Amino acid sequence: MSIPYHTWTGRSVNWEVLCPFGCLTYSLIPKENSNFKLTPTAERGIMLGYENDFSSYHIFKLDKKKVVCVQDVKFEKFSFPGWRMEDTTEDQDASNIFDIPKNSSMYPETISFTKSQNLKAPNNQVKTTVIKEIPKAPRDINSYQLS
């Protein structure tokens, strides 16, 4: 089985060059641009994409507020500076971001019926109420297997 890139170009893809979109990057500042020994050697940025031949990366420079195309980049694959959650800090555990409230009516195809409860209505008729529970996403996303 081949992927479209291999079919189109006849070359295989180096999977090591793939990095998550939006992750934090540090792109090298050329030595010609540093006048002093203690000037920074890299600039922070956000990963936006690749060139068509995967030879360089499109990076949004956070300090200069512009998009550049660079080759020498280090990636922090688990740090996303553009992603903010309300009332969170760096120290808090973000493992519950996939928890879905039990009273949510989202994703009706995944709802499982767990138990029923008999309630008496005002006119003495028996009314059956079904309590629904939505399955939660796994806490460890790496253990989730795609089929």
At residue 58, the pLDDT reads 93
Pick the closest to residue 26 from 88, 75, 64 (CA basis): 75
At residue 93, the pLDDT reads 55
In DSSP terms, 24 is beta-bridged to 46, 76
Q: Helices in the chain by DSSP H: which ranges?
A: 4-9
More confident residue, 145 or 51: 51
Q: Which fold has domain 16-76?
A: SH3 type barrels. (2.30.30)
Burial string for 8-25 (b: 16+ CB within 10 Å, else e) reads: eeeeeeeeeeeeeeebbb
Mean pLDDT of 53-76: 89
> Mean pLDDT score of the chain, rounded to an integer?
71
What tokens does 20 get?
A: 């998550």
pTM metric for this prediction: 0.48
Mean pLDDT of 66-76: 91
Question: Where exactly are the structural domains of the chain?
Answer: 16-76, 100-135
Measured CA to CA, the distance from residue 118 to residue 59 in angstroms comes to 60
pLDDT tens-digit map of 80-112: 887 765 544 555 555 555 555 555 444 444 444
At residue 2, the pLDDT reads 76
